[in-house]
Amino acid sequence: MGFLRKNNSQLAGAAAGAGSAANAAGAGAAGTAGANMAGGALFGGGALDKIDTWYAQSAAKNAQKNKILSILLRLIVRIGALLTATTLVFIVGYILVNGIPYITPSLFEWEYTTDNVSLMPALINTLLMAGLSLLMAVPIGVGSAIYLVEYAPRGNKFVQLVRTTTETLQGIPSIIYGLFGMLFFVTALGWGLSLMAGACTLAIMVLPVVMRTTEEALLAVPDSYREGGFGLGAGRLRTVFRCVLPSAIPGILGGVILALGRCVGEVAALIFTAGSIAEIPNLAAGAAALFDSTRTLSVHMYLLASEGLHINETYATAVVLLVVVVALNLLATFVAKKMNKGDIDD
Amino acid sequence: MHKLHIGENLARALFIAAAGISILAVAIICLFLFANGVPAIGKNGLPDFLFGSTWRPANDIYGIFPMIVGSIYVTAGAILVGVPIGLLCAIYLSRFASSKVEAFLKPGVELLAGIPSVVYGFFGLVVIVPFIRENIGGRGLSLLAAAVLLGIMILPTIITVAQSALDAVPKKYYEGALALGATHERSVFRVLVPAAGSGIMAGIVLGIGRAIGETMAVIMVAGNQVVMPNSILDGVRTMTANIVLEMGYAAGMHREALIATGVVLFVFVLMLTVLFNLIKKRGEAK
């Protein structure tokens, strides 16, 4: 019964769980024994041997075919993963290699001129813009997630509507947000191309991100925390803020960092809402500074790339953008790890 | 006690108001887009606007058919490039990778998702476009360049969604396949992948949504000519590109036609969202 051994070793070789391989072998052995017995009853001993060799041959052929298929499948899966990894390394590597030599102090000067395309104003504007939009999106996003998880009755029509609209918001491309921001904040509200119009547009864009992550973080908090709060006589509000929110904070923070990343990288939503003036808003003017036109780092990079006059500076700007994004990514991973540790402590 | 009640009710009202903002946002986005875009479609006539093949704002001729075709071609190309690689990578991450490799590849995929689209676009402009121009032909700024670049950009979406769908398949499916004598590879491809089908489809639909809505990266590599492409080496203009390229100087009817382009794109995306929900619901019903 050579084929049995072959099948067997192949199964084991495919790194199957030892238990299931043994199971399969057992079932196979029983089956063959039955076949042999039937063979013995119908044919003489010689015929039985013939059938056995024939079985062994076809099984060996099958096993070989299976082996080739397995190797092929393993190979293409590896290729897929390898292509993804190579693409990432190539993109990041290419930008870094070409950009790092051109990161010079002059790139970080306070004034932007057509000769020295300093990215400093854009960098500061990015911080202002992202900060301002998160200032709006985070309280609203966290508030609505608290309502959905902690307050809303199950199967409520209002809740369903909120979920549907959040999903819709998440699917809308940024250029549509840009168009809307231009029609609503810039034109209808008369804010003009401004920091404020851009920040409001971004706030709506990242709202679903903050909402979804906060919702997940709140859902992950065990019910015993809530019961504990209620048991001590706290009202719902106090329970939410003292018992539930603190342990959900790492998850919420992760969402905020994701949202920040989207704000930093956004171009299409900002070109027609915040404009492209490469100056730091006149902060001395107070609230009026909110209505100055600004360009963020990504918009700055897009304009440099499409002008095509300062390719080296464009590479350098791309490096700075990448560094910001990677830093945010690492921060998010770090925060997520911290959250996982918190789970084990429970 | 009474004071506490007021506080509680006030808080509840505030949370409800916050939750209502996303409804409000969708409502005013629809209102403003449709109010500003639909009149232009009406003036041109819907068939002429959607299926007219000439876009000549100077002569007040607005047909966005080449742009619709451009968007569809570019998205289809991105799917052709991105889905096989993304799906294989997801299968690898879910069932083949050692924990060491996963510890490197997973953050890598997240980083790929975090790279801003301008950086992708610039990379396409300085690497993919010259490569196509020198090795394949044409001007380089082409449908092919946009499809390859978008294929890369939708990778993380497809990988993340497909991997979580694969991870969610019950363990007994895999064990059952092994017990029947199938090899590890066979069990994964013949049992796990079909079982995760609706999750994988949902990932693909999300990827389509991302590809059709992508703007800046496409503008930088697609060439942006308003003509029907005859080959994958021809330039194309997508709906998104049309809006950004001309909005800066458009006025009057031209501006309205651009907003109407946005409306058409918006309707496409809404249909994708509905499709996504249908797939997700069917998956849950199983």
Radius of gyration of chain B (CA): 23
Contacts for A7 with CB less than 8 Å, ≥ 6 apart: A25, A28, A59, A63, B181
Q: Which two tokens stand for residue B211?
A: 């590809």
A1 pLDDT exceeds 70?
no
CA distance B62 to chain A (A): 19
Selecting from 3.30.70.20, 3.40.50.720, 1.10.3720.10, 1.10.10.10, what CATH number does the domain B65-285 have? 1.10.3720.10
Cβ atoms of B100 and A98 closer than 8 Å = no
Report pLDDT for A107. Answer: 79
- Would an 8 Å CB–CB cutoff place B190 in contact with chain A? no
Domains observed in chain A: 2-91 (no CATH), 106-345 (1.10.3720.10)
Over the stretch A205-263, which tens digit does the pLDDT of each residue have?
999 999 999 999 999 999 999 998 889 988 888 888 888 998 888 889 888 988 999 99
Cβ atoms of A210 and A256 closer than 8 Å = yes
Answering whether pTM is above 0.90, one says no
Instruction: Report percent pLDDT > 70 for chain B.
Output: 98
- The pLDDT-based confidence of B221 (bands split at 50, 70, 90) is very high
Q: Where are the domains of chain B?
A: 2-51, 65-285
Over the stretch B142-153, which tens digit does the pLDDT of each residue have?
999 999 999 999
Report pLDDT for B152. Answer: 96
Question: Which among A66, A211, A329 has the least Cβ separation from residue B111?
Answer: A329
A16 pLDDT exceeds 80?
no
CB pair distance less than 8 Å for B273 and A168: yes
A283 or A78, higher pLDDT: A78
Over the stretch B222-261, which tens digit does the pLDDT of each residue have?
988 888 888 888 999 999 999 999 988 888 889 999 999 9
Residue of chain B with shortest Cα separation from A12: B183
CA distance A29 to chain B (A): 13
Contacts for B66 with CB less than 8 Å, ≥ 6 apart: B53, B55, B226, B227, B228, B236, B237
Exposure b/e, A116-145, CB count within 10 A at least 16 = b: ebbbbbbbbbbbbbbebbbebbbebbbbbb
- Output DSSP code: residue A186: I
A179 pLDDT exceeds 80?
yes
Average pLDDT of chain B is 90
Report pLDDT for A339. Answer: 63
B15 pLDDT exceeds 70?
yes
CA distance A44 to chain B (A): 31
Q: Which of residues 245-264 of B touch A (CB under 8 A)?
A: 247-248, 259, 262
- The pLDDT-based confidence of B3 (bands split at 50, 70, 90) is low
Residue of chain A with shortest Cα separation from B190: A73
Query: Where are the strands (E) in chain B, listed by range?
Result: 55-56, 61-62
